[in-house]
Structure 1
Amino acid sequence: MERLELKYGCNPNQGQASISIDEGTLPLKVLNGKPGYINLLDALNGWQLVASLKQATGLASAASFKHVSPAGAAVGLALNENERRMYFIDEKQTLSELASAYVRARGADRMSSFGDFISLSDTCDLSTAKRIKSEVSDGVIAPSYTEEALAVLKQKKGGAYTILCIDPSYAPPLLEERSVYGITFTQERNTQVLDDSVLQPVVTKQKDISQEDRLNLLVALNTLKYTQSNSVCYAYRGQTIGVGAGQQSRIHCTRLAGEKADLWQLRQTERVLSLPFLPSLSRNDKDNAVECFLRGETEDFSRYFAQPVSALTDEERESLLCSVSGVSLASDAFFPFRDNIDRAAKSGVSYIVQCGGSVRDDLVIEACDALGIVMIMNGIRLFHH
């Protein structure tokens, strides 16, 4: 048996924390720092997500995890001009495919990603390491690192930044176990592959799905596989833009994820991109300023902006969002009522994938037809706990 001692468990009062493996050696190595219990949960869930995304799409992938659910996940599509501006990436900066994936994953929900654990599908290069260095995070896991990237990452947190290396060839046993209240649970691990083959059948009158939209559906599905249930995910341009995780009601998942997706869309509008930030403002303060501005919070903006700025009104929000379309949505289980479809449509959803199986499937399909939404019912449930 090989064992790795951790700082502590879920909380500082929970000592004797460790991870271990009964046979062979652990498939990960600590290259720097000392991880905690939650760090490892985030790292191992995140690694599975990015490995699955890379397998499904062939693109470098990244994920930003917080408390065992992704704040964001993405593949390495190049950033357009607006995305560079909203993610604070200078136009002169060259990003590798992996760095683009990381910037997207981190930028999906920047407030939730603060202090995250990062997962990368490919060798961490210097381009990606430089982007990681500029953000507040607890650590990173990747299959390998270039020497230059490792040197940059080891400078974070005064040299205490957690850097993990995972063996990409490691295949866990079919059966997985966990202990709750001294009782051992056993089940087969979820080996469902979520690639292009699961995007069928289409059950609505509208049938057409472009390759770009299929990619977005795969990003959403693979993200849900490693998100605490109930969960719903909105995706666009090769990344998640809203994840609603761990809600007891599916409509609450859809609303929460939809609100985040709306904020992501609004961050790309000129009204936000041209905000007159004070030159001394940190990246995190800019995030806070944008969040307050978009939510219409009536606080004093003088500490953020170089000139007077009024908060975004409800009327302005509705006007800016009314033209949004082409968003993809995935659900980890069936929609029991059409209210989920109606809410999704308000955030520009045009494509949906879910398992189906509700007694009201016909009403859900009817709602999609009325709104011109393409829906797939693939029979695959993706609960994760």
Structure 2
Amino acid sequence: MTPIRRALLSVSDKTGLVELGRALTGAGAELLSTGGSAKLLREAGIPVTEVSAHTGFPEILDGRVKTLVPQIHGGILGRRASPEHVAQMSEHAIAPIDLVCVNLYPFEATVASGADDETCIENIDIGGPAMIRAAAKNHEDVVILTDPAQYPDLIAALEAGGTTLAQRRALAGAAYARTAAYDAAIASWFARDEAAPARLTLTGTLREALRYGENPHQSAAFYVDGSARPGIASATQVQGKSLSYNNLNDTDAAFEAVAEFADPAVVIVKHANPCGVAVAEDAASAWDLALRCDPVSAFGGIVALNRTLDEAAAAKIAAIFTEVIIAPDATEGARTILARKKNLRLLLTGGLPDSAAPGRSFKSVSGGMLVQTRDAGRIDPEALRVVTKRAPTDAEMADLIFAFRVCKHVKSNAIVYAKGGATVGIGAGQMSRVDSARIAASKSEEAARAAGLSGRLTEGSVAASDAFFPFADGLETIVAAGATAVIQPGGSIRDDEVIAAADAAGIAMVLTGMRHFRH
């Protein structure tokens, strides 16, 4: 048990500082501090010595230099068990410092706020990380605190007579993790315009340890990166049991998809694939259209809205078993309705992600990771190229653009049939594009029967393909399903053959020049 005789407190986040200061002085420790921390302690009636008075060296350069002096770092780094260190500290009048409490300038929050470069740079802490690393290195003798959440345990240790080596070692590990994350955030900010930086730095803060991963034999956790992008990381869970790994993955997929649309939209996701998507005049109407596409798969699914969830939509969604609803907000009436479903999770994000915003996505592979920019691509309607004898009608063109946006969020190979601003058939994740087209058409027949209709919902629809047709057979399958227009990237060596098949069938085809593979 090592007692604390002298402590240096210099924090940006002053949460709990007064309580910590009182506990330390109550345990007989002398307090050293700087700037606003010293002022707060003094106003609370806690004795404190300014670092500049302790070192005999004033704060200079607008506060950029205040702790970067031998009296501070020598006091932190000096090994108490080394006679040579003790003698040198005595020779140079360096007093030991037994505890360092530092949390860093809020660089990450400053960047997230959209501040200019000068402000961001001024929020890069220099002295703080130096003291943290010094104290962590010398944890055999020194306690390092980097988070107000650590204060209660430290106060309890003071009441017990001091800290143990095991406690100091654990705090040192947390300290190095904090400075590593801090440096990673700074490095990432400097490299924000580099497509492939020579060293990639990633960091995350544990939000929650999950019960398991995709399967019960896999462990999992949810980390957040501190970005300002609205979504599952920023969401407040209003009700329901804790979210699983698969819930989080599917909810993210649903919310990113629904953010593609300006009109009121609903996306239903099952196993990371949309099984129903629609836009309409209001959320309740969009729900009806989205559900009609595949009511069987929607059972136990994830629902995302791009508008405030109201009572009408909440009542309809609550009528079937739903795992998660995510939306920017919800009315009090909607919350009351959903509160009757105790296990249903309601997440409110406060906003929508920008589907066109830059960013990176990551995939682990053996021995490393694949990194790419987020698929923020969006077709320009004016740049679409009609390649068939018949051009699409205005209604067909609107549905083609809608279907292609949905395609972006469906696992490859992806085929999406749409009509009237709603999906009427989705084929996902097949090894053959023909199979995706057939599965989507087959499921549309099932959906039609469930709705009390004859035939299939794909009659008179349009179809979107996430990538080009390598042969005409995929297009012929779509024609057989009743589609009257097709949108696809083009670029196959057999484009002429595919276009000829479209002309022979009398359907319209437009090329985007943009592919949306999603693996």
Bin for the TM-score computed over the shorter chain: 0.7 to 0.9
Moved more, 358-367 or 45-54: 45-54
Residue in 2 that maps onto 1:136: 321
8 Å Cα contact 1:4-1:20 kept in structure 2 = yes
Tell me the residue number matched to 2:236. 29
Residue 348 (structure 1) shift: 1.0
Deviations 1:82-102 (A, max 9, x none): xxxxxxxxxxxxxxx111111
Specify the SS of the correspondent of 1:31: strand
Q: 2:207 matched to 1:4?
A: yes
Partner of 1:282: none
Q: Give the structure 1 partner of residue 139 of structure 2.
A: none
How big is the shift at 1:2?
A: 4.0
Aligned to 1:127: 312
Q: 2: distance between equivalents of 1:217 and 1:4? A: 40
Distance in 2 (alpha carbons) for counterparts of 1:380 and 1:195: 10
Is the Cα–Cα contact under 8 Å of residues 71 and 113 in structure 1 kept in the other structure? yes
Distance 1:197 1:38, change over 3 A: farther
The question of whether the paired residues in 2 share the 8 Å contact of 1:261 and 1:347 is answered with no
User: Which residue, out of 181, 187, 203, partners 2:387?
Assistant: 203
Match of 2:273 among 65, 69, 90: 69
Change (3 A) 1:103 1:16: same
Report the AA paired with residue 15 of structure 1. Answer: S
Measured in 2, the distance between the counterparts of 1:225 and 1:12 equals 30
- Greater RCO, 1 or 2 (C-alpha within 8 Å, sep 6+): 1
Greater than 4 Å deviation, 4+ residue runs: 22-25, 169-173, 265-268
Paired-residue identity, %:
34
Q: Is this contact kept in 2: 1:2–1:24, CA < 8 A?
A: no
Mapped partners of 2:435, 2:449: distance in 1: 21
Alpha-carbon spacing, 1:350–1:67, altered in 2? closer, same or farther (3 Å)? same
- Give 1:222-261 correspondences, 5 Å limit: 222-261=405-444
**Larger CA Rg, structure 1 vs 2:** 2
State the SS of the aligned residue for 1:207.
coil
Q: Judging changes above 3 Å, is the alpha-carbon distance between structure 1 residues 106 and 370 closer, same or farther for their aligned structure 2 residues? A: same
Partner of residue 506, structure 2: 372
Q: Secondary structure at the match of 2:386?
A: coil
Aligned to 2:401: 218
Task: Give the aligned partner of residue 252 of structure 2.
Answer: 44
Contact 1:195 1:218 in 2 (8 A): no
Provide closer, same or farther for how the CA distance between residues 237 and 169 of structure 1 changes in structure 2, counting only shifts above 3 A: closer
Which residue number in structure 1 is paired with residue 102 of structure 2?
none
Q: CA deviation at 1:183?
A: 2.5
Cα distance, 1:175 vs structure 2 = 2.0
8 A contact 1:229–1:245 mirrored in 2:
yes
Pairwise CA distance, 1:324: 7.2
Supply the RMSD in Å over aligned alpha carbons.
2.2
Question: In the superposition, relative to structure 1, how do residues 124 and 368 fare at CA in structure 2: closer, same or farther (>3 Å)?
Answer: same
Residues 332 and 382 in structure 1, CA contact (< 8 A), matched pair in contact too: yes
Q: Could you tell me how far apart the structure 2 residues matched to 1:24 and 1:349 are? A: 41
TM-fit CA distance, 1:381: 0.4
Quick one: distance in 2 between partners of 1:188 and 1:70? 22
Q: Does 1:335 align with 2:469?
A: yes
Q: Specify the code of the residue in structure 2 equivalent to 1:134.
A: A
The aligned amino acid for 1:16 is: A
Pair 1:110 & 2:110 matched = no
Compare 170-179 and 42-51 and name the one that shifted more: 170-179
User: Quick check: 2:417–2:440 contact (8 Å CA) kept in 1?
Assistant: yes
CA 1:196/1:206 → structure 2, altered by over 3 Å: closer, same or farther? same
Per the TM alignment, residue 187 of structure 1 is displaced from its structure 2 partner at its CA by: 0.6
Could you tell me the TM-score, scaled by structure 1's length?
A: 0.75
Whichever residue aligns with residue 338 of structure 1, its letter is A
Q: Which runs of 5+ in 2 are unaligned?
A: 1-203
- CA offset digits 1:103-129 (Å, max 9, x no partner): 211221111111100010100000010
1:202–1:377 contact (8 Å) kept in structure 2? yes
Match of 1:16 in 2: 220
Partner of 1:106, secondary structure, is helix
| Aligned mates of 1:154, 1:45 — CA distance in 2 | 24
Contact 1:52–1:193 at 8 Å: present in 2 too? no
Code of the aligned partner of 2:517: F
Conservation of the 8 A alpha-carbon contact between 1:73 and 1:219: no
Alpha-carbon distance in structure 2 between the residues aligned to 1:243 and 1:204: 24
Q: Is the 8 A contact 1:63 1:106 kept in 2?
A: no
Distance 1:99 1:182 in 2: 47
Q: Answer yes or no: is 1:384 the counterpart of 2:518.
A: yes
SS in 2 for 1:358: coil
Q: State which drifts further: 9-18 or 147-156.
A: 9-18
Separation of aligned partners in 1, 2:367 and 2:512: 37
Matches of 1:340 and 1:24 in 2, distance apart?
41
- Name the counterpart of 1:296: none
Match of 1:281 in 2: none
Contact 1:262 1:347 in 2 (8 A): no
Residue 182 of structure 1 and its aligned partner are, at CA, apart by 5.7
Match of 2:94 in 1: none
SS at match of 1:190: coil
Give how far 1:29 is off: 2.1
